[in-house]
Structure 1
Amino acid sequence: MKIMVGGTFSPLHAGHKKLISRSFELAGPDGTVIIGLSSPTFAGRKTHPVLSYEERRAALEKYVRSLGTTTRWEVEELNDRYGSALDADFDILVVSEETLPVALEINKLRRAKGKRMVEIHQIACVLAEDNRWISSTRIIRGEIDEAGHLMR
């Protein structure tokens, strides 16, 4: 299986790790995972501060290596919300509840281009201790840490 997943991943938190881990599970040991990582320009449109591309890529690569997987993988720079997903040949797009609308749009645009629609695998967002979603914004505000623990 060839899987695509993407994000800004700044900072890399428990929700992102679930998304990435699930991508590798779906790909299997003989599959491939393409991880789209927002470019500095695209990530710069966020409303909160974002780590540099190099820092985000290093954290992402460190996490993937920690999985100990034999699955092939690569990081692809995303300059927009679609990356290569509109034209690439792949099987599954892994998204969160928050990014499901983008996945649906990708399939709509693929269909308009005469491309095969891909399966969308949605994971549930990870909840922090207060039962609200873990998000980069909440981490940057100092409400929670990367694991979803409330900051005291």
Structure 2
Amino acid sequence: MNSKRYNKVAVGGTFDKFHDGHKKLLSTAFELGEIIEIGVTSDEFGGLKGDIDSCEERMGNLKSFFSDKSNFVVIPLNDAYGTTIYDSDFDAIVVSEETEPTAVEINEIRVSKGMKPLDIVVVSFVLAYDGNPISSTRIRRGEITRNGNFIE
């Protein structure tokens, strides 16, 4: 695990069916950053993934989970990059293995604009009982619980 501390850290996702993988990703961001900006895909952008909970509900779940913290903001995302390609105050981005390529794209855009690239912190997947990653898709399909357990 990266032990470096950052002033401002970005993390983003759909965060549908809030599960243990999301918790690990977000907890990592809080361990590393003083200020955390959590981007949540908007209904329009996130809707591309299928039948998901509303952006308002997903943002509310995050605020509830981190109700003991005050060093974060939750914003809607209308694209894959959010404010990271405009805000030069970010120092790092926390991503999953699945979204690492987007972080690389963000850095390419930032560098092309004369901004410093972000440190990319990749968080490994949390695995379900069967050794496959916990995902919102699998939860929606009824394959696993939010903790990755078998549904009986």
Q: TM-score range by the shorter chain?
A: over 0.9
Alignment of 1:49-128 (within 5 A): 49-65=51-67, 68-69=68-69, 72-88=71-87, 89-128=89-128
Q: Determine if contact 2:55/2:76 at 8 Å carries over to the other structure.
A: no
Shift of 1:150: 1.1
Distance 2:134 2:38 in 1: 20
Q: CA deviation digits over 1:85-112, x for unaligned, max 9?
A: 1111211100000100000110011111
Matching residue within 37, 42, 46 for 2:45 = 42
Secondary structure of 2:37 counterpart: strand
In the alignment, structure 1 segments of 5+ residues that lack a partner are: none
Q: Which amino acid aligns with 1:138?
A: R
Give the match for residue 5 of structure 1. Answer: 11
- Give the partner amino acid of 1:44: G
CA distance in 2, matches of 1:64, 1:6: 15
> 2:36 aligns to what?
33
The aligned counterpart of 1:142 is 142
Question: Which residue identity does 2:18 align to in structure 1?
Answer: L
Provide runs of 4+ in structure 1 moved above 6 Å. none
**CA–CA distance in structure 1, aligned partners of residues 86 and 60 of structure 2:** 27
Mind listing any 5+ residue stretches in structure 2 that lack a counterpart? 1-6
- CA distance in structure 2 between the aligned counterparts of 1:41 and 1:21, rounded to whole angstroms: 27
The 1-side partners of 2:133 and 2:31 are apart by: 23
Once the two structures are TM-superposed, the CA of residue 49 in structure 1 deviates from its matched residue by: 1.0
* SS of residue matched to 1:74: strand
Q: TM-score, normalised by structure 1?
A: 0.92
Structure 1 SS opposite 2:28: helix
Q: Give the letter aligned to residue 23 of structure 1.
A: A
1:64 Cα deviation after fit: 1.1
CA distance in 2, matches of 1:129, 1:78: 31
The secondary structure found in structure 2 opposite 1:45 is helix
Read off the aligned partner of 2:82 and give its amino acid letter: G
Q: Distance in 1 between matches of 2:141 and 2:69?
A: 33
Cα deviation for residue 69 of structure 1 reads 3.5
The answer to which of 118-127 and 49-58 deviates more is 49-58
- Corresponding position of 1:22: 28
Inter-partner Cα distance in structure 1 for 2:98 and 2:150: 21
**TM-score, reference length from structure 2:** 0.92
